Amino acid sequence: MLGYGLPMRAALESDQPASLPRPRAFPHWRTLAQLIRLSNQSGTLLLALPTLWALVLASRGRPPLDLVAVFLAGSFLMRSAGVIMNDVADRSFDRQVTRTKSRPLASGALTIPEALLAAALLVVLAAGLLVFVNRLTMLLSPIAFLLAALYPFSKRVLHLPQALLGISFGWGVVMSWAAVRDSLDLSCWLLFASTALWALAYDTIYALQDREDDARIGVKSSAILFGSLTWAAVAAAMGGMLILLGLAGGATRLGPAFYATLALVGWFAWRQVRQLRGPVPPVRAFALFKQHVWIGWAILAGIWAGLLW
């Protein structure tokens, strides 16, 4: 997580450090793969899984396969475009952070025009998927694109940019629910809010990787905002998420199996919170973050089981 914290002069520095070789006219595919984090799809899954929750719940366990394909593809494309825009916005800061200084834009392996072209292509492909959804979902889509565009720059002005990330990820729930039911009801908004809180929790854990570097260069993140109380903030966000999911389950009449799953997720989350009360090395923070993918899968299985039992 990176945001503004340096003088404007620093933001206007050359995009390519003078000591680095000039990039090739046509970037190698491995550089582009590194740009969109192709080898690590945790972010794509964390975006896609809540849309699957909504598709399964809204369809009562029978999601149309074409919509499943559309939202899985859309999650990959939008997440890939999002990380490119994030790197474009944060390139001057990434050079000063140990974990991110080797990224293609920060290192000079890729130029800004090349990255913007790649992002534009991904967004066009994502927009093309809208031909397979209903009118309401199409009308909701500009908000998704707007949130994705605003997020990288929100880190310049907000001490809690993870909140906007949560809203952005949660909007996929709203769109997928609309794609199935062609309407938005209470259950949809409960799922949306639970997703937003979940993203706040796991992205705060993710931000722990860079907390020292971020504090040194003056950028904003929830991990810095909450400081020694980060564990409490994550606990509150996860607790709120589980309460909202429980309310959504009640509104849609899910069975006991769903609530048993929520209890298991709550126990697992509490184990994470206990670890956050002590020092958390960057490697451990990333491992804890990745475990949330399994939480997402567990909730999806719980929704399906709750529809049956």
Q: pLDDT at position 96, please?
A: 77
Give the residue from 191, 197, 154 showing the smallest Cα distance to 172: 191
Domain of residue 290, CATH code: 1.10.357.140
pLDDT tens-digit map of 120-178: 999 999 999 999 999 999 999 999 999 988 888 887 788 889 999 999 999 999 999 99
In this prediction, residue 93 carries a pLDDT of: 73
State pLDDT tens for residues 257-292: 999 999 999 999 999 999 999 899 999 999 999 999
Q: Quick check: is 13 in a domain?
A: no
User: How much is the pLDDT for 104?
Assistant: 86
Using CA atoms, how far apart are residues 129 and 246, in angstroms rounded to an integer? 32
Mean of the per-residue pLDDT values of the chain: 88
pLDDT surpassing 70 at residue 14: no
Please report how many Cα atoms fall inside a 13 Å half-sphere around the Cα of residue 218, on the Cβ side. Answer: 8
Q: What are phi and psi for residue 18, nearest 5 degrees? A: -65, -30
Domain count, the chain: 1
**pLDDT given at position 201:** 97
pLDDT at 296 over 80: yes
By 3-state DSSP, what share of the chain in percent is helix, strand and coil, each rounded to 5? Answer: 75, 0, 25
Q: Give the domain extent around 229.
A: 22-308
Residue 2 maps to a domain: no
Q: Which helix (H) or strand (E) holds 210?
A: none
Say how far apart CA 116 and CA 94 lie, in whole Å.
Answer: 17
- Residue 26 has a pLDDT of 53
Task: Give which of 9, 11, 75, 12 is closest to 41, Cα–Cα.
Answer: 75
Residue 159 pLDDT? 86
Considering the domain boundaries, does residue 204 fall inside one? yes
Classify residue 300: in a domain, yes or no.
yes
Tell whether 5 is covered by a domain. Answer: no
Task: Enter the tokens of residue 270.
Answer: 């509490």
Inter-residue contact 164 to 220 (CB < 8 Å): no
Condensed to tens digits (0 to 9), the pLDDT of residues 27-42 reads 678 888 988 999 899 9
- Over its C-alpha atoms, the chain yields an Rg (Å, rounded) of 20
- What is the structure's pLDDT at 219? 80
Contacts of 92 (CB under 8 A, 6+ apart): 6, 10, 11, 13
Is 240 within the bounds of a domain? yes
Q: Please report whether residue 301 resides in a domain.
A: yes
Specify the DSSP class assigned to residue 216. H
Q: Cα–Cα distance between 292 and 284 in angstroms, integer?
A: 13
Q: What is the pTM of this model?
A: 0.87
Query: Does residue 155 belong to any structural domain of this protein?
Result: yes
